Amino acid sequence: MEGQNVPLNQGQAAGGDARIVPFSTGSRPIADLSDRELRIEKLKTQYGVDRGRNNPFSALKVWDADALAKADFPDPEWIVDGAIPTGLTVLAGQFKAGKSFLALQLAHVVSRGGLFLGELPTKKSPVLYFALEDTPRRIKNRMVKAGLTPTPDLRFIFSKKNVDLARLIVGAVDQWGAGLVVVDTMILGLGDLEADTNDYSNMYDRLSSLKSLADQLGIGIVLVHHLRKGMPGGEGDPFERILGSVGISGVADSLILLQRGRMSREGVLSVTGRDFEEREWAVNFDSGSCLWSITGEAEEVRLTAERREVLETLKEAKGKELSTGVIAKTLGKKDAVVCKLLKALKQEGYITSTRYGYWKLNTAGSEEEEIVL
């Protein structure tokens, strides 16, 4: 090994003793190098770095800031404007929130062209829908109830067995020109019910292959997914409620979160993505047609719903005063959040403060008068 450039503290002499092999400094004598330059030369030898064949940047594209500033990049291509770009999207919601109805509505609108949720423009294209939790009869009933006009550009696959998702997606693009693929649900589509969705590397690797496929084909893939059980909403980052959110957010181009309370028609649809601004809409579920629609800004609906919860709590007290802490505990919210709601309701005349920190409904008006927000 005499004379070879090998990493420091590596390499064995013929007699088995470890030694440091001399490194090259080019045309400059070692004596002319500063301490820092000397350390750099030693590290270059250790890591096998030079500006020739061993240039570590030779396989990478390195941008300088000036070139980056002058570059012209195309805008995202949208399946649904402002919500679902080409690439990988995860649509998540709690059990019985209505996410499968939302996914079916999405697939139908894209297959025919039109406005999703009554407001968002879509790019018309054939759609392949993997209904892995449902039967043909159930999907037919949903379409009939919703009044969805049949279209040959919307195709379904029903299977209780593992499917070769990637192979079928490529085939759908080849045979029918599919521009959107919906998979309900993600776990069944991945084919591993025992998969640990909270394992970052496992989830990242499995979804990366689907994202890469979507990017190469220039299509959108939407995976319908679940939220963590027992994790309260209303505070913090709502997207952290998505099961396996750490690994998923590292891959997905878009995350869509559907939140709706039990027995409530009102909900909030939140969207965030890599290359577009976060959006939130107030949405309404029509139980008659099983269709979703946008009704306004989410913040207005959320505030209205929170105020209604406070008023209902005070109403159930039947004239007794309640403290801020008791109301907050009943609603599962922070004291500071409830305090703001209470002050706003007092200012608007809905409630009165009997003493510091205690509240009751304002009974100055008719007892039969219904509070409407």
- CATH number, domain with residue 310: 1.10.10.10
In this predicted structure, the answer to whether residue 11 has a pLDDT above a threshold of 60 is no
Q: 114: pLDDT confidence band, cut at 50, 70 and 90?
A: very high
Which pLDDT score is estimated for 32? 75
Which pLDDT score is estimated for 318? 86
Same structural domain, 333 and 194 = no
% of the chain exceeding 90 in pLDDT: 43
From the number of C-beta atoms within 10 Å of its C-beta (0-12, 13-18, 19+), residue 169 rates as: buried
Across the range 260-264, mean pLDDT stands at 74
In this predicted structure, the answer to whether residue 131 has a pLDDT above a threshold of 50 is yes
Which pLDDT score is estimated for 196? 53
Which of 100-114, 189-203, 284-298 bottoms out in mean pLDDT, i.e. has the lowest?
189-203
14 or 49: whose pLDDT is higher? 49
**47 falls within a domain:** yes
Digit-coded pLDDT (tens) for 170-223: 999 999 999 999 999 887 888 764 555 566 777 788 889 999 999 999 999 999
Bridge partners, residue 272, by sequence: 255
Same structural domain, 219 and 321 = no
Ramachandran class of 319: left when φ > 0, alpha when ψ lies in -120 to 50, beta otherwise: left
Tell me which of 73, 95, 110 is where a domain ends. 73
Same structural domain, 48 and 121 = no
Same structural domain, 59 and 13 = yes
**117 falls within a domain:** yes
Which pLDDT score is estimated for 236? 59
Same structural domain, 62 and 35 = yes
Which pLDDT score is estimated for 281? 92
For the chain, give the mean pLDDT.
82
Digit-coded pLDDT (tens) for 42-87: 898 899 888 888 888 888 889 999 999 999 988 889 999 999 999 9
Q: Which of 114-128, 187-201, 258-272, 293-307 has the highest mean pLDDT?
A: 114-128
Question: Into how many domains does the chain fold?
Answer: 3
129 or 193: whose pLDDT is higher? 129
Domain assignment of residue 333, given as a range: 303-361
**137 falls within a domain:** yes
In this predicted structure, the answer to whether residue 21 has a pLDDT above a threshold of 70 is no
Same structural domain, 266 and 207 = yes
Give the tokens for residue 174: 């080849």
Same structural domain, 142 and 245 = yes
Which pLDDT score is estimated for 237? 72
Q: From residue 218, how far is each of 86, 177, 215, 237, 297 by CA, in Å?
A: 6, 11, 5, 30, 31
Same structural domain, 233 and 271 = yes
Characterize the bridge pairing of strands 87-93 and 220-226: parallel
- CATH number, domain with residue 212: 3.40.50.300
218 or 276: whose pLDDT is higher? 218
Digit-coded pLDDT (tens) for 335-363: 988 998 898 888 878 899 889 989 998 87
**371 falls within a domain:** no
Q: From residue 134, how far is each of 115, 159, 183, 206, 345 by CA, in Å?
A: 26, 8, 11, 24, 45
Same structural domain, 117 and 247 = yes
Q: 301: pLDDT confidence band, cut at 50, 70 and 90?
A: low
